[in-house]
């Protein structure tokens, strides 16, 4: 249980859902995890985080605040990894989607990731373990979904960013990958879930079941560990076979 012992990193969106699960798995593997969220703590009704998870308040769209936050968290120990999980969505047909909401989704889901990667780059480059960035993409990066077109757009951009950074920083002691979750319980998925959509989703995957967010943590742990030092520029689907499902 000490695969990541001595490593220090940041997970955004760590107060609940996927970010919370990833933070716990990484901490249980020995890492010190700074879980950054707007609340700065675990959301009400949830179990306390694993020892090793340190909740920190931060807004990923406040770039000046992020710069100071990253410098403070890096401190003397530096940073070994960054997991970009924070994201938002909104359900609305494309022809009626307010442009201000479209732009806000791209700011949170795309621009803030790029800025955090920039800010963490010098620390990750100096990591003795080889720096790692893991971005959370989505099935929506690969498949079209009705009423969440801006979200689909943002997640496709995350995959493009992941590949571009992986190539540009390949010789800078950095690996950059992404994880595409299938359908997992989260506050964001509840926003767009209806009985009809739920039935369609379950029919769309071979295992016909929603995933356990811990599985995403295990994939992140692998990508941050020593066994993944030659893997970069890839998007890993953890989706119950949804992308592979034909007829």
Burial of 82 (0-12, 13-18, 19+ CB in 10 A): buried
Q: Which three-class secondary structure state does DSSP give residue 9? A: strand
Task: Compute the half-sphere exposure of residue 17: CA atoms within 13 Å on the CB side of its CA.
Answer: 18
Ordered strands of the 32-37 beta sheet: 53-57, 32-37, 8-12, 81-84, 131-136, 174-181, 235-238
Q: How far apart are the first and last CA of the chain?
A: 40
How far apart (Å, rounded) are the C-alpha atoms in residues 199 and 141?
21
State yes or no: is 151 an active-site residue: yes
Please identify which of the residues 20, 34, 121, 151 carries the catalytic annotation: 151
- The strand pairing partners of 194, in sequence order, are none
Burial of 44 (0-12, 13-18, 19+ CB in 10 A): exposed
Residues marked active site are found at: 151
């Amino acid at each position: 249980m000490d695969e990541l012992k001595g490593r220090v990193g940041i997970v955004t969106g760590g107060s609940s859902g996927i970010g919370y699960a990833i933070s716990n798995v990484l901490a249980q593997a020995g890492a010190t995890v700074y879980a950054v969220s707007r609340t700065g703590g675990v959301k009400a009704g949830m179990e306390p985080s694993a020892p090793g998870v340190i909740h920190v308040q931060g807004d990923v769209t406040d770039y000046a605040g992020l710069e100071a936050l990253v410098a403070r968290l890096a401190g003397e120990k530096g940073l070994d990894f960054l997991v970009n999980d924070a994201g938002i969505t909104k359900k609305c047909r494309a022809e009626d989607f307010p442009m201000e909401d479209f732009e806000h989704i791209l700011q949170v889901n795309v621009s803030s990731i790029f800025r955090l990667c920039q800010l963490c780059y010098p620390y990750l480059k100096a990591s003795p373990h080889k720096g790692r960035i893991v971005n959370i993409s989505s099935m929506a990066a690969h498949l079209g979904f009705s009423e969440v077109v801006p979200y689909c757009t943002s997640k496709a951009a995350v995959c493009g960013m992941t590949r571009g950074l992986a190539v540009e920083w390949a010789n800078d002691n950095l690996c950059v990958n992404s994880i595409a979750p299938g359908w997992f319980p989260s506050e964001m998925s509840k926003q767009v879930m209806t009985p009809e959509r739920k039935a369609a989703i379950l029919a769309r995957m071979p295992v016909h079941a929603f995933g356990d967010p811990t599985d995403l943590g295990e994939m992140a742990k692998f990508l941050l560990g020593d066994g993944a030092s030659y893997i970069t520029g890839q998007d890993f689907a953890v989706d119950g076979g949804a992308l592979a499902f034909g007829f």
